[in-house]
Amino acid sequence: MATVDGVSREILLVRHAKAEGYANTDHERALTERGVAEAAEAGRWLAQRGSVPELALVSDAIRARQTWAALAEAAGWALTPTFDNTLYEADSETALDVVRGLDDDVSAVVLVGHNPTMAYLAQVLDAGGSPQLATTGFPTAAVAVFEYDGPWADLGEGAARLVDVHTPPG
């Protein structure tokens, strides 16, 4: 696959960190202390590997917003996220459509969402059928890093390369 304008694109898929079991609604569930620590650890890991998204698409659920806040702070990103209800209710095809709709000027995007959507999307994108995703699953605060070399509109099943996975310790 040829790169677009010589740029390989980066897709960061992040599952929200550990959240409390109950709240008035599922949408209002907040992160636990462990969850905040997990998100910060994931942010430090992303910073260490040099990932810097140009666009952040985040579910508008409280736990995803809080994951983004801890992740971005620990990574040192000064990026204003777009909070999107679509990612709260999305299946993997809907989430994929969100990415396909990106402007080709964007070379790196982070999506912060929920399972099973993030896990399914990672499996859909993975061109190599990586055993790494199968073995680790996609626990809270998991991050999958993909590279993709085409226009966003052409992103499809098996079109990206899984280059790194991070799961929280423990």
> Is 139's pLDDT higher than 60?
yes
Q: Strands, E, within 73-128: which ranges? A: 82-84, 108-113
> What domains does the chain contain, in order, with CATH numbers?
9-166 (3.40.50.1240)
User: pLDDT tens-digit profile of 66-77?
Assistant: 999 999 999 999
> Is 135's pLDDT higher than 60?
no
pLDDT band at 130 (very low <50, low <70, confident <90, very high): low
> Is 54's pLDDT higher than 80?
yes
Question: What's the average model confidence in pLDDT over 19-34?
Answer: 96
The larger pLDDT score, comparing residue 20 to residue 4, is at 20
Spatial distance between the Cα atoms of 70 and 73, rounded to a whole number of angstroms: 5
How buried is 65 (Cβ within 10 angstroms: 0-12 exposed, 13-18 middle, 19+ buried)?
middle
User: What is the reported pTM?
Assistant: 0.93
Spatial distance between the Cα atoms of 168 and 170, rounded to a whole number of angstroms: 6
pLDDT band at 127 (very low <50, low <70, confident <90, very high): confident
Spatial distance between the Cα atoms of 170 and 2, rounded to a whole number of angstroms: 39
Beta strand 9-15 pairing with 143-148? antiparallel
Spatial distance between the Cα atoms of 82 and 162, rounded to a whole number of angstroms: 24
Residues 6+ apart with CB under 8 A from 108: 9, 10, 11, 12, 51, 52, 53, 54, 55
